[in-house]
Structure 1
Amino acid sequence: MQEHPETTPSEKPEAPQHVSGRIGTDAVDRNDSLEQRILTDPGRFRVMTGDRPTGRLHLGHYFGTLQNRVRLQDLGVESFVLVADYQVLTDRDVAENLADSVEGLVLDYLAVGIDPARTTIYTHSAVAALNQLLLPFLSLVSVAELGRNPTVKDEIAHSRQAAVSGLMFTYPVHQAADILFCKANLVPVGQDQLPHLELTRTIARRFNARYAPETGIFPEPEALLSAAPLLLGTDGGKMSKSRGNAVALADDADDTARLIRGAKTDSIRHITYEPATRPEVSSLVLLAALCTDRDPREVADGIGTGGAGMLKRTVTEAVNEYLAPIRARRTSYAQERGFVRNILKEGNERAGAVADETLDEVRRAMKTSY
């Protein structure tokens, strides 16, 4: 999803290891083993990931997922990135300004270093065969299994719809189609998304057992657990596109300074990095550390008794310097909307060809190829 900028985000530092330990020991060991296999033979893997075009991507997305996507792409892992325009309708009655949001998402991808020559960028609505997989997949799961999915429960609780739609209820199965249409065997996820991936694995296993017991068609994809650091929004809550509490990749330096200047801190003047007891202050310290490739405790010690004012100035300077080349690339790509649309056109064609081939296999296995 991106050209080859002079300096891609993948060349910038990864998150410091000491800030990411939010996963159990067994899961860490499995993840380390998976990472080693990826490094040893990246060509064995095909990764699928994506975003809903519901707003501009922000720093939480960047350090949480985008940076890792570029890393995997640059390692040589074949990548599919979905612009999930159909899934906007899971929790909204109307998808407003969808075309602009889709193009904005692609601009963000290009700006951070996703290369359309190596990563397939495509939209739900343009890949008909992908969406056709939803029907046979739905036949493989029960209503009770869908109702138990904790992510669906949470999404329903926060839905913006007047009434919960059937699309919301079948959301996990649609995600299974997203993953399995291209036979992805690697899916980067946070721990909260593991139930979705487990249902995908269940669908793959059941389809193979029912329709292709000897050869199988679908892999059971592995979860690459995210060790992304937790960054809070400027209001101290969850960083969100819709809450106005996040620095977007597309924001300019002045908007960034304004947002950080209004960030919530606390009444203690001496700045320390203590995520458990000082979450808002620590999140700002961590953001500066990520942008400058430093230990957050070192950043905090450097500010010391400088208080919230010095902390916010430090963070603003670090963020604006880090994002400057990303923003410059985004501005450049934004002048070439035809180029952006062509990236989607080519990506849709590439994804469509893969989906058509998979759907043909499914039809043959189900003996519905007439």
Structure 2
Amino acid sequence: MTTTLDSGPSDDLGVAGARRRGAELERSIRERPGTFRALTGDRPTGRLHLGHYFGTLQNRVRLQNMGVEMMVLVADYQVLTDRDVADRLTERVEDLVLDYLAAGLDPGRATIFTHSAVPALNQLLLPFLSLVSVAELGRNPTVKDEIAHSRQSAVSGLMFTYPVHQAADILFCKAGIVPVGQDQLPHLEVARVIARRFNNRYGTPSNPVFPEPEALLSAAPLLLGTDGAKMSKSRGNAVALAATADETARLIRGAKTDAERHITYDPIARPEVSSLVLLAALCLGRDPHEVAAGIGGRGAAALKALVTDAINDHFAPLRARRAELAGDRGHVRRVLRDGNARAAAVAAATLAEVRTAMGVLY
């Protein structure tokens, strides 16, 4: 059984509303974690980095360990628009699963699966597309941003319909909660709108087919990359979870700082220095102001040395687990095979319910 809170008006899913309802969700999860199902995932565009870990992976493992049923999607169909990634898709998918396992996701408690292996999930895309207009998709700010950053001369239909595909990802398993960053709220609102419209058209007030999923906004702070911009796989400014100690040291040595020698934690006035301080604090489990005060006037070199040691010490166990797991790619494939089978069974049951509600069982 899955649980979701009573859904309010759709405009309550703005950032302020999502944070307020997220606090309610956290209380409910602590009280009865086993009644919740969460859907989360990533596109396999490269190895995960420290921003992913502190932004999402830690929270997924936390929810899993609390007893929430986790569905973790490797969105391989959503990278078909990127030829460079698609040409090495098997390797990218397996690398992503290795990062998941090394970070602590347990395939005995979390279902890890791929788009391409769950055909019933993808069949939901067609009826869902009938419930939204082209204009609504065109107004979606996240779609606009993805198109702007795609660097492609023409936009494929797949990229344009990402929000509806993500709605299928969420609704196929009737996930009640979706851990997201605030930039993904427009996508989640599409899923809520589709659930509501499907229920109005094909369900009954007493027996809706889909719950309206709730956002669980991440409280994780933004980590900047080594160039001072947002940490990103595509920008080459990130420290990968799988990086070696030497690679980590080289990347941190090259990180952007500023000309002021005395180290302080001031994210507005000194974003690059403060991001490094924050990274050390997250790894050390300390307050960033305390970390900055400990360095004081010893300058950026001392800060970078501290950050490097903190990262390497904190992630040494994860990197060791990942290296061990990477030696048995067969295990990674078994994890996916088992997860795909579980997800396919859930999707088949939902598709049968959808077809029954629509009256298209022949």
Q: TM-score, normalised by structure 2?
A: 0.94
Q: Match of 2:341?
A: 349
Q: Match of 1:369?
A: 361
Alpha-carbon distance in structure 2 between the residues aligned to 1:234 and 1:363: 50
Please say if 1:299 is aligned against 2:291.
yes
Q: Residue 268 of structure 1 aligns to a residue in which SS?
A: coil
- Quick one: structure 1 residues 93 and 250, their matched pair in 2 at CA, closer, same or farther if it must change by over 3 Å? closer
Per-residue deviation, 1:91: 4.9
4+ residue stretches of structure 1 with deviation over 6 A? none
Q: 1:145 aligns with which of 118, 136, 143?
A: 136
Q: 2:331 aligns with which of 323, 336, 339?
A: 339
Per-residue deviation, 1:53: 0.4
Gaps of 5+ in 1: 1-22
Alpha-carbon distance in structure 2 between the residues aligned to 1:93 and 1:58: 19
Q: 1:101 aligns with which of 72, 92, 96?
A: 92
Please say if 1:37 is aligned against 2:16.
no
Check whether the contact 1:91–1:164 (CA below 8 A) recurs between aligned residues. Answer: no
Check whether the contact 1:78–1:118 (CA below 8 A) recurs between aligned residues. Answer: yes
Gaps of 5+ in 2: 1-13
Please say if 1:329 is aligned against 2:315.
no
Matches within 5 A, 1:79-90: 79-90=70-81
Alpha-carbon distance in structure 1 between the residues aligned to 2:295 and 2:339: 46
Alpha-carbon distance in structure 2 between the residues aligned to 1:94 and 1:238: 21
Matches within 5 A, 1:189-208: 189-208=180-199
Check whether the contact 1:91–1:160 (CA below 8 A) recurs between aligned residues. Answer: no
Q: Match of 2:160?
A: 169
Check whether the contact 2:45–2:85 (CA below 8 A) recurs between aligned residues. Answer: no
What RMSD in Å do the two structures reach over aligned CA positions?
1.3
Q: Residue 188 of structure 1 aligns to a residue in which SS?
A: strand
Please say if 1:289 is aligned against 2:281.
yes
Alpha-carbon distance in structure 2 between the residues aligned to 1:94 and 1:321: 31
Q: Residue 48 of structure 1 aligns to a residue in which SS?
A: strand
Per-residue deviation, 1:104: 0.3
- Using the aligned pairs only, state the percent identity: 74
Q: TM-score, normalised by structure 1?
A: 0.92
Q: Match of 1:9?
A: none
Check whether the contact 2:18–2:216 (CA below 8 A) recurs between aligned residues. Answer: no
Q: Residue 286 of structure 2 aligns to a residue in which SS?
A: coil
Q: Match of 1:68?
A: 59
- Quick one: structure 1 residues 154 and 345, their matched pair in 2 at CA, closer, same or farther if it must change by over 3 Å? same
- Quick one: structure 1 residues 24 and 361, their matched pair in 2 at CA, closer, same or farther if it must change by over 3 Å? closer
Alpha-carbon distance in structure 2 between the residues aligned to 1:312 and 1:244: 19
Q: Residue 318 of structure 1 aligns to a residue in which SS?
A: helix
How many residue pairs get aligned? The number is 348
Check whether the contact 2:85–2:92 (CA below 8 A) recurs between aligned residues. Answer: no
Q: 2:243 aligns with which of 248, 251, 267?
A: 251
- The one-letter code sitting in structure 2 at the alignment partner of 1:288 is A
Alpha-carbon distance in structure 2 between the residues aligned to 1:293 and 1:364: 52
Per-residue deviation, 1:244: 1.4
- The one-letter code sitting in structure 1 at the alignment partner of 2:120 is A
Please say if 1:59 is aligned against 2:50.
yes
Q: Residue 215 of structure 2 aligns to a residue in which SS?
A: strand
Check whether the contact 1:90–1:171 (CA below 8 A) recurs between aligned residues. Answer: no
